[in-house]
Amino acid sequence: MVGRIPRAAQFNVEDFSLHETPEGPKYLCTICPHPRMTTNPAKHARGPTHVLMVQHIEARRITTMNQLVEMNLQPQIGAQGDLQQHQNNEEQARRDSEAAQMWATIDGLIDLHARPQGVRPLLEDELDTQEDGHSNSCWPRSQQQENEPTATLDWDELLEQEINNVRLAGDPLEADDDAEPDPPMDASVNNPKENIWYPFKDKEDLVGSLLVGHTHSMLSRSLYSKIRGILELYDIELPAWATVQRSRTRIQKTLGSKVRVNMSVFDTPTFSLSAAEIISQDLANPLVSKHLDFYPEQTDGVDVFKLSQSNKWLKHLSPTHQPQMCEVDGKHFYIFEPVRLFSGVMVIPIYFYIYQGCLFSKCFELAEENVFQTESECKITIPPNLEFDNIELISTPVSNFNLNCLNIWTASGTPLLEACGGKIYECGLETPIEIPNPWRKTADGKIIRNVPITLYADDTSGNLSKQFNKHIGCYFTLSGLPPKISNQEYHCHYLSASNLAGVLEISEQIVNELNGMATDGFTAYDYSLSQEVLVNSVVLCFVGDSPMHAKITNTPNPGQALNPCRMCTLSSTTRELKQTSEFVKKFLHLDAQGNEMPVAARIWSTTYAHSYSLYNIAMTLSDTQFKIYSKVYGIKDQINIRFIQDSKKIPALMWKMRHFDLHDPTRLYNPYLKLSGFDGVHDTPVEVLHVILLGVAKYVARDAVGKLTGQQKSEVKARLRSFNRNSLNIDSLKPDYLVQHIKSLVGRDIKILLQAA
């Protein structure tokens, strides 16, 4: 054979014609079907369509040359007639190529070379011509099979070459033939006051980004190109796929959003977004910041519907994590700092909260017995561990605050801070409280915003009926938003996901950042104040189903466990005893006579201590003792258990355990044990869907209906049909379906039965 089909197309200027346009010189390919003008012919020459066209033309040339060889014709030394025949064959091949190109283009397509300026391309021009692979060829498949040489396209080689071309070209987003280089942006585009579509360049840029979507709802490049082409029929011109991607990259850089990469303790790569950056964006967003509550609200038990009205935020946050300060007439007042009211009374604020729309403070009023004063110094004492409902605290509007600790002087003319030595003492406790509040120095004159969050984690089962593959995902919402706002998809913020690492592995870097947010805070811009603020944040609660809660609280999965509760110490020595009446009464918190008798609650600090104790037992005693004490304590730390079990098989893991034990012991355990402000016993609310609807209610309904006779089931159906559902948001009760399929009902069906009952 004379030649072979080349691996990749070589850039040949003879394959392009030059055209002058108002935008400058552009090139039009003369061998591709329905080509489009481009400013970069070299990039077009690397495209799959052009590669195929060059290969087909070369294949025809090779076929002609092989025919000449078989006929023992040598064009360079043969007779004049043979040379003429060879030239005729080449001319015929050229005409065949031109004819094939014409017939591929003539079917509803207009050649761009002859198209009047300003006319939009046809729909087919805008569709993804690369989607069908061989369909990009200008010859019908049957004709290819008859006329093509035996040499076939090596798609692996072609793919490899294309990948190399893209790599050499730089940014892979640039490999979109449909996208011309972005023109230099006008300065007004990046000015929010002049560009109403900021941070997008214009309306089309925004629509294109919305259409492409995010995460699981993203469109493919080919589908986006088709939709874009269809919209062209209605004179709607959207940016190309690569343009949208470049715009997104530019916005991400503007926002400072970066994907953080971390290796888990088991060397699994994990990725997450920054919770602090997301909260900063929400505070700067006028559509979000106006709905946020930064202080808890006291409602006296009336009209409770949002998390800012929860007791956790109002009463049970530690002094480090609760709202630290308020601003009154430009003056900043902090908790645990002496304050003089306009009435002259000296108080120490302990809590800030909203009551009936106004900001109040729970304060301890300083009496003479609380201040021991000499000529040169004084000692201020307050009762220890003052709780929100302590009768020694008084409530006063913060509008009554006059002077903060920086501006209070003693009768001897000494500044109060100097006189008391910068300390306040709690009676009976040796460690004093420092004043000014350390957060005052950290804030450096900024207002402090208290922004708790609600963490959420869930896993997909991996069942074939599920839309997505099995993976773990972590998300959060702002606890200060009302439910009608926080339940919107826009306000559910993605943090991390993985189909390889478990929830405790991917949570490690999340917990580390959350601890910094709780203890040090971070700076953000608050749109509602039009100024920079310092933000401190804490996890108000962790939402998940029972198996997920079991993992993050170091408790067994409640299904078959001998210690089935993460909140109390309910336990049994054997599974058989769980079926006895004594265990059931303990489960219901009843004594033998049926009187209420709560089971002792778990204590998070005890869970922490037992988790560390179990590791020491495994290292110093035996695996058998480790398992025995795990059942006694009701503790299962998934990270610790994996270390202990796998290290016996993997020597490198044993070395890593010893390294962590010496330098960073916390990495051997569940990261939520070290999450600042988090209590795994009280901060993991029950998920109603799985625990109630698909738990107790489902099994009661199965047993009740399953034992009925046919006549009794007919009566139940009749009663359901006669049920007045006017007060319920239900279109139909579906009585026949509910009774017939009682064993396969889902949560919403069980809810209907509960409401009807």
pLDDT of 186-205, one tens digit each? 677 777 778 888 888 889 88
**Inter-residue contact 221 to 212 (CB < 8 Å):** no
Specify if 722 maps to a domain.
Answer: yes
Block residue for tokens 């509910």: 738
> For the chain, how many structural domains are there in total?
6
Nearest to 470 by CA among 485, 459, 479: 459
Digit-coded pLDDT (tens) for 60-108:
778 777 766 566 544 444 445 555 565 666 666 666 666 555 544 444 3
When mean pLDDT is compared across 67-71, 138-142, 259-263, 446-450, the lowest value belongs to 138-142
Residues forming a β-bridge with 355: 298, 358
Reported pTM? 0.72
Q: 4 or 707, which is more confident?
A: 707
Specify if 313 maps to a domain.
Answer: no
Q: 738 or 114, which is more confident?
A: 738
Question: CA-CA distance, 677 to 675, in Å (whole number)?
Answer: 6
Digit-coded pLDDT (tens) for 597-617:
999 999 999 999 999 999 999
* Domain identity same for 151 and 23: yes
* Domain identity same for 136 and 68: yes
Question: CA-CA distance, 443 to 327, in Å (whole number)?
Answer: 13
Block residue for tokens 């409602």: 299
Digit-coded pLDDT (tens) for 474-524:
999 999 999 999 999 889 999 999 989 999 999 999 999 999 999 999 999
Residues forming a β-bridge with 360: 353, 397
* Domain identity same for 96 and 201: no
* Domain identity same for 426 and 466: no
* Domain identity same for 52 and 151: yes
- What is the identity of the amino acid at 738? L
Of all residues in the chain, what percent are helix, strand and coil, respectively (each to 5)? 45, 15, 40
Q: What was the pLDDT predicted at 77? A: 43
Specify if 182 maps to a domain.
Answer: no
Of 403, 436, 469, at which residue does a domain stop?
436
* Domain identity same for 20 and 160: yes
Specify if 305 maps to a domain.
Answer: no
Would you give the distance in Å from CA 40 to the centre of its chain? 38
Of 155-159, 566-570, 697-701, which one has max mean pLDDT? 566-570
**Inter-residue contact 423 to 345 (CB < 8 Å):** no
Specify if 444 maps to a domain.
Answer: no
**Inter-residue contact 207 to 228 (CB < 8 Å):** no
Question: CA-CA distance, 369 to 382, in Å (whole number)?
Answer: 10
Phi-psi region of 562 (alpha: psi -120 to 50; beta: other; left: phi over 0): alpha
CA dihedral 599, 605, 609, 611 (to 10 degrees): 70
Specify if 441 maps to a domain.
Answer: no
- For 330, the domain range is 325-436
Of 375, 405, 436, at which residue does a domain stop?
436
Would you give the distance in Å from CA 679 to the centre of its chain? 23
Mapping DSSP to helix (H, G, I), strand (E, B) and coil, where does residue 216 land?
helix
Of 255, 284, 307, at which residue does a domain stop?
255
Digit-coded pLDDT (tens) for 209-264:
888 887 667 788 889 999 999 998 888 889 999 999 898 888 888 877 888 999 99
